[in-house]
Structure 1
């Protein structure tokens, strides 16, 4: 099992929910995540996201089913902007970010910057 920061797992869970066509149970979310996190870990993350009002939940039998209530791309963009705003050297931070992109991500960024991206 791969350990990752909780913030990263929260982002991954939100991405799974955002890509779903409806509500997902914790087991459904767990099955779609890489790294095979424990069911209890996924359930805890979902409960925390519910507390932060990022997801809604509805009782389905003995368990809950979850869906996002936030715009996940907007949330990710806001986090990126917040990190950049508080960087002591934003130019260096952006440079490091761009250098960390894989070729597909770099091409996507070029498409966005050229104004050719949909969305």
Structure 2
């Protein structure tokens, strides 16, 4: 999996920040306050993200309403998974990653692992979150 390009990342940030579905016009209006950008550029970027599977959409009148196919956290987890797979020896990659963590991050990781392990033992199977669309998230 490849990460987003610079404009794709900015657009996805706007989409993830939106509590509901969002239109090209709404993203454009948000972006034009901080950068010089054309409406058609935003439209093309969102269409590309849809073709790549990052955004889902449905027509509403003459416009499309978009929502992310993955949450920001699910996307980040996939990037981490891909980095682990591509990084050579997984044990060494994980060790180097842990060496870079702050004490607070290490503490949060221990808490997550503790909860994950408890959930796995209690149910007898691996605990995982069901991917949700932007409409179902939060």
TM-score (norm 2): 0.55
CA contact (8 A) 1:30 1:36 kept: no
Looking at CA atoms only, which structure, 1 or 2, has the larger radius of gyration?
Answer: 2
Match of 2:105 among 98, 109, 112: 109
1:14-71: per-residue Cα shift (whole Å, max 9, x none)? 2322221211111212344485262222211210111122222222333222112223
Give the number of equivalent residue pairs: 107
Could you say which structure has the greater relative contact order, defined with CA pairs below 8 angstroms and 6 or more residues apart? Answer: 2
**Alpha-carbon distance, 1:92 to partner:** 9.0
- Aligned-CA RMSD value: 3.6
Q: Give ranges in structure 2 of 5+ residues lacking alignment.
A: 113-138
**SS of the residue 1:64 aligns to:** strand
**Alpha-carbon distance, 1:107 to partner:** 7.3
Q: Give ranges in structure 1 of 5+ residues lacking alignment.
A: 100-105
Match of 1:10 among 2, 8, 14: 8
Q: Which residue of 2 aligns with 1:61?
A: 61
TM-score (norm 1): 0.61
1:93–1:79 distance in 2 versus 1, CA, 3 Å: same
1:54-110: per-residue Cα shift (whole Å, max 9, x none)? 2222223332221122233112211122123313573697389x48xxxxxx57634
Question: CA–CA distance in 2 between the matches of 1:43 and 1:19?
Answer: 18
Q: Which residue of 2 aligns with 1:36?
A: 35
**Alpha-carbon distance, 1:114 to partner:** 3.7
Large movers: runs of 4+ above 4 Å = none
Deviates more, 1:107-116 or 1:7-16: 107-116
**SS of the residue 1:115 aligns to:** helix
Question: CA–CA distance in 2 between the matches of 1:36 and 1:52?
Answer: 25
